[in-house]
Structure formats: structure tokens, C-alpha cells
Homo-oligomer: A and B are copies of this chain.
Amino acid sequence: MKRMNRKKIREILNQNKEEAEILVMGWVRTRRDSKGGFSFLEINDGSCLKNLQVIVDHNIDSFELNSGKLHTGSCARVIGKLVQSPGKGQSVELQAKIVEVYGEADPDHYPLQKKHHSFEFLREIAHLRPRTNTFGAVMRVRNRLSYSIHNFFQERGFLYLHTPIITTNDCEGAGEMFQVTTLNSDTLRAKDGEVDYSQDFFGEKTGLTVSGQLEGEVYAMALSEIYTFGPTFRAENSNTSRHLSEFWMVEPEMAFYDLEDDMNLAENFLRYLFKDILEQCPEDLEFFNKQFDKTILERHQGVVDYKFERISYSDAIKLLQKSNKNFTYPVKWGSNLQSEHERYISEDVFKKPVIIYDYPDKIKPFYMKCNNDGKTVRAMDVILPKLGEIIGGSQREDDYNVLIKRMEAKNLNPDDYHWYLDLRRFGSAPHAGFGLGFERLVQFVTGMENIRDVIPFPRTPKNARF
């Protein structure tokens, strides 16, 4: 076959005009044969949700040779004439001049036949599930959100920072850590039954990072505004639809920002992402809206349109206490807000995104800046209706002495944080930052119920396959 450039299906469907000869490659989603001597193929190449309809006249030369191989899942190569389609719901269709099957997909063995497959089943064949409508759409949305995150920060002069994955610090025990080692079982145990980490690859005990924040602060204190976007890890044995052992986080960190600046940035960030995804992925979002959750489009537009409500933790507690709602968890100043509390505030009271700020110091990590009241810190959480917390952040404690006291109060050893403390010893600046769990965002945007279905290859307890 002569060398010509393939045209992507997204481009073909968008151009919506006839063309004498084009080349299309993709995978057959369905085949239907008419009595009149034609086959109708639906071809998909992943560039968009929609398929291209290809009409194959059984009289063309290549049909006989390839017909037996043209099944659901086969890889096909079609040269043909693009014409306006008389059919409903499609703009153009391709009249094949040549059809060739590159790789077959034996119907007796190919698992993705045209019928309903449960997400549980598709997780078992995670190497084939991107060939379905749902997972193609999820991955296109995931891609666009990723790019949009970069665009947002780059437009504002933030520098993208790669913080280390392998680390010796545990960001104040934000979660259980995976250990990284090259010691084998023979050398792991030294004479006293203690492990001799001086023999390990890095000469000390190392694990997988739970957050890039502390390292992000290092660079914010030199380059002003940075963001990370990388993988983080939790070795918690949580088998839920909201937990992954490996997930991606976005963590901006900014010098010269106070808590208000931090909240403004977080609000503008989310608004930007939702506006962009509505504009860039309308077809995929409509699919989710139709298929899984009819409120998706409306909710996303709400994030774009409404100014977020801002309320202090103390006021939120008062609201909850006078609500007369029967919460599972008691409402008490000093306790963590549970998902039911957050959702009541954003869904029932304000009916829009809410930022809750100034949390009790006892329930927040050591690095958050103390307020003058002696009992709260400059923390903030952004709550979205139907999801709950999507962003958590704070102004950071920039006073060396206060920070040491906070570490001691949390039973941390300041010596373990000498370099972090140096940021306050030398040229300390007010600064703030936040973190966004990327998969939770993709979950919210797509409406997918299980977080394992918004990441290409999920890692969860007892599962690191593929």
C-alpha cells in the first residue's frame, strides 16, 4: 500500500467536509452486514469518543481477502472517499476503496465483545480496558486536566519542580510509607536482629514520598512560586473506592503568599480547570453526564460560575450545631470535620464550593502557621458539593522558634528537620501552599465511582499487576 498520512478520526469528524481520498487506521468496534452487499464498520482510533462509519462495498477487491478478519477489536486500515452521511447522528462517512486488516481479534478469545462489561471485570483486563468508550473518555479527560494544570501555573510564572520520589523524610508521618531497598533477605538482618541500613543502597532507611511539600518549600524560598505534579504513595491497607496506594498530587508552594492569597489561588485554580475541561472535552463530559450522573455538567458549570463561600472552622461548627441534623459523628469544636459535615455545609447550606479556614492546631500538622488566638492555625480546605475535600492547604509557619515548639508539641525531633528549619533561619519569608489529589479531581470531573477507574494501572493492597 502506498505511503500516505493517516488522518485522525477526531479531525475527520470535526472538519465535516468531503474529501476524495483519505487514509484511516483504527480498531473495529462493530461490524454490521447488510443484505444489499455492504458491511458497515464502526472504527475508533482513540482520538475521540465517536467512531467513524466505514461502508465497505463487498465488490471491492480487498473485501474478500479481509472479510473473515474484520471483527470487533481487529485493527483496520482503510483508504476511501469521505462523503456527507445521510445517516442520523453522524456528519460524514467513509466509502472504502481498500480495506486491510493488520491484526485480527479472534471473537472466540477477544474479551471485549459488544456487550456490557462490569468495571470489576475490566479491572481484571486493565491492558484492554482503554479500548472501551468509558476508559477512552476517562483518559482523554485525565490528559486534558493534566495539561490544564501545567497551563494554569505556567501562565502565572510558576516553575514546575520535580521533587524526589525516594526520600528519607516522612513529611511528619502524613501516612504509612513504603520502604525502598536493595537489601535481600540474607543481608537485611544484621547481627543483633537489627537491620543494618548502612549497607543499604542509600546508606540509610528510605521510603517512597508521601508529599513533595517540604522540598517544594525549599524552592519557593528561592524562586518564589513553584508547583509539583508527581506521584505520591500511601502504604495503608485501605480497600475503598477512594484510596490508591499510588496516586498523583499537585502541590504549589508560594513565597510571599498569606492564607488569603492561598485561598484565592486555589479558587482561581479550580475555576480555571473546570472552565477549560468544559470547553475542551465537551463530547466526553456529555458522555459521562448521560451515562453515569446527569448532574455533572451543571455541577461543573457551578464551580466556574459561583464565587466560593469562605467560612472559618469555628463558624462551620456553629452552623453544624444549629442544623438539627443527625450526624453519625458528633460535632465538637476541636474535632475533625467528617465528610458528612463538609457535604452538609457545601450541599445543604451554601449549595456551592466552600473554603473552610482557621482550623484547630491540635488536628493539623506542625508546619501550619499559628494564629494569634493561640488555638488555631492558618489552614484551609476546599470542599466541593458531592465530593468533599478536594484541596487542603495552609500558610506555613515561618517563625523558627514557633516552628521548633510546634515540632516538639507533636513529638517530632527538630534535628530530623535541620534543612527545613534552615529555611526559617536564613531569609525566612511568609509563604503558603496547598495540595490537590489528582485522581480525586478526575473522579469528580468524570463522575466515576471508583478511583481505580480513573488511573491507567491502579495500585491497591494485593494488586500491582501490569
Contacts and interface: CB of A to CB of B under 8 A. Distances in A.
Given A130-B223, A202-B459, A429 B464 contact: no
Contacts of A246: 164-166
Interface in A415-433: 419-420, 422-430
Interface stretch (A59-67, A179-187, A311-319, A331-339): A179-187
Interface in A217-235: 218-219, 221-224, 230-231, 233, 235
A427 B105 contact: yes
Given A231-B231, A245-B201, A427 B74 contact: yes
B127 A419 contact: yes
B223 A139 contact: yes
13 contacts: A25-B256, A45-B255, A46-B222, A130-B222, A131-B427, A139-B223, A142-B162, A167-B464, A185-B189, A201-B245, A202-B459, A202-B463, A215-B457
Interface stretch (A153-161, A294-302, A382-390): A153-161
A81 to B, nearest CB: 20
A243 B47 CA distance: 37
A165 B164 contact: no
A425 to B, nearest CB: 7
A127 B256 CA distance: 18
A2 to B, nearest CB: 14
B202 A25 contact: no
A292 interface: no
Given A219-B139, A425-B109, A181 B182 contact: no
Interface residues of A, number: 105
Nearest to A421: B127
Given A215-B466, A245-B201, A143 B160 contact: yes
Given A47-B157, A422-B127, A459 B166 contact: yes
A287 interface: no
B223 A136 contact: yes
Contacts of A428: 75, 102-104
A377 to B, nearest CB: 19
Contact of A179 (B128, B180, B462): B180
Given A182-B178, A203-B462, A208-B180, A161 B456 contact: yes
A140 interface: yes
A350 interface: no
A44 to B, nearest CB: 9
B168 A136 contact: no
Given A130-B219, A157-B47, A219-B139, A245 B426 contact: no
A99 B433 CA distance: 26
Given A161-B456, A166-B459, A461-B202, A222 B136 contact: yes
A245 B8 CA distance: 39
| Best-surrounded residue of A105, A162, A204, A221 (most CB of chain B within 10 A) | A162
